[in-house]
Structure 1
């Protein structure tokens, strides 16, 4: 272990940062697109099946195939990797946002309307806070997916911990494979843990106690 860190410690830090950067940007883009879209679809249910179906189809495309498709349009490097991971992040977030918003008790919606709230006020002050647990479940799932799939980004020159893993595979060095795999697992666990705490913080107290 000490020998590995002495030889590859600096590179490990760089690759870990690249993995975090690629994953964070893709997930952030997924959240700011999928959450508003999921909310909007609750107001246009006829479009919901189409958009959720489209996102489902895109997610069935193999990761390497989607990365390869991006190359003619965006070249190689981080940009095509981020776009591909963004596409993969959409479905869980959008679907959970749609489900969470649709499962709000109609009585609460009517109460908000009776209090004189406009639709946009009802969304932000009543519906979204109550749907937070379901929405955050989708975000946590997407985060784990994105971090795991980001390892494949090294195939198109985006960097990340995949560089260590695939170098280890090509050079038959188990230490490189393990050295790249363990940080990916740890990143997934840490991010899921932090998002779990964020979910608890954002969930209204009344619903948290149920």
Structure 2
């Protein structure tokens, strides 16, 4: 494995870059869509049931199926892989943000109202800050999933370390397989560690003391 990486450094680094580009872009797009949608769902009663239903159904659909459905829509290459990762990443962020906001203690909200805060002030100064740890837990889950699932891009011609895994399986080449699988696992662990640090830093001091 190490010998292969050292002798194919340029190709390997290109695949790592493709892997990271796909993961980061999918995660950013998912956050940009999921967080506002979750906030909106907590303010509009009619959207509550729809959000939870979509979230629960979406979690049961395999990512490879989403990738397959995306190919007829956007063609092969980077686009269907991005679509599949985006849809998969949206779900944990959406559900965690929604549940986090709805789960803020009723007495805390009533106390904020008693202090004269408007509903918007309660949302942005009370509910959102208290929801940050739960929200970031969803982002953390989505990020780790995205790193792992980015390997599926190889099935749509989208590159990433999945190319090495696919080639290793087809050619029954252990070095190729490990050159794709091991770095992917390491990336997933590093992302999980990084997101854990961000989650700790972003958690309000009051919640840290309560823990």
State TM-score, norm by structure 2: 0.93
The within-5 A match list for 1:7-156 is: 7-156=7-156
The equivalences for 1:167-186 within 5 A come to 167-186=167-186
Query: What residue in structure 2 maps to residue 4 of structure 1?
Result: 4
**How many residue pairs end up in the alignment?**
210
Runs of 4+ aligned residues of structure 1 deviating over 3 Å after TM superposition are: none
Shifted more, 8-17 versus 104-113: the winner is 104-113
Residue 53 of structure 1 deviates from its aligned partner by 1.1
User: What's the secondary structure of 2:8's corresponding residue?
Assistant: helix
Change (3 A) 1:10 1:59: same
Query: Which segments of 5 or more consecutive residues in structure 2 lack a partner in the other structure?
Result: none
- Residue 46 (structure 1) shift: 3.8
Do 2:38 and 2:51's aligned partners in 1 also have CA atoms closer than 8 Å? no
Q: Is the 8 A contact 1:129 1:202 kept in 2?
A: no
Q: Distance between the aligned counterparts of 1:190 and 1:91, measured in 2?
A: 22
Unaligned segments of structure 1, at least 5 residues: none
1:104 counterpart SS class:
coil
Alpha-carbon distance in 1 for matches of 2:28, 2:121: 24
Is 1:52–1:91's contact at 8 Å kept on the other side of the alignment?
no
Tell me, yes or no, if the aligned pair for 1:164 and 1:177 is still in contact at 8 Å.
yes
Please give the root-mean-square deviation of Cα atoms over the aligned residues, in Å: 1.5
Specify the SS of the correspondent of 1:72: helix
Deviations 1:94-145 (A, max 9, x none): 1111111111112221232233333222222111111111111111111111
Query: How far does the alpha carbon of each residue in 1:41-94 deviate from its partner, in whole angstroms, 9 at most, with x for none?
Result: 222344222222123223322222211211121111111211111111122111
8 Å Cα contact 2:151/2:160 also seen in 1: yes
TM-score, normalising length from structure 1? 0.93
Q: 2:80 & 2:111 partners in 1: Cα distance?
A: 46
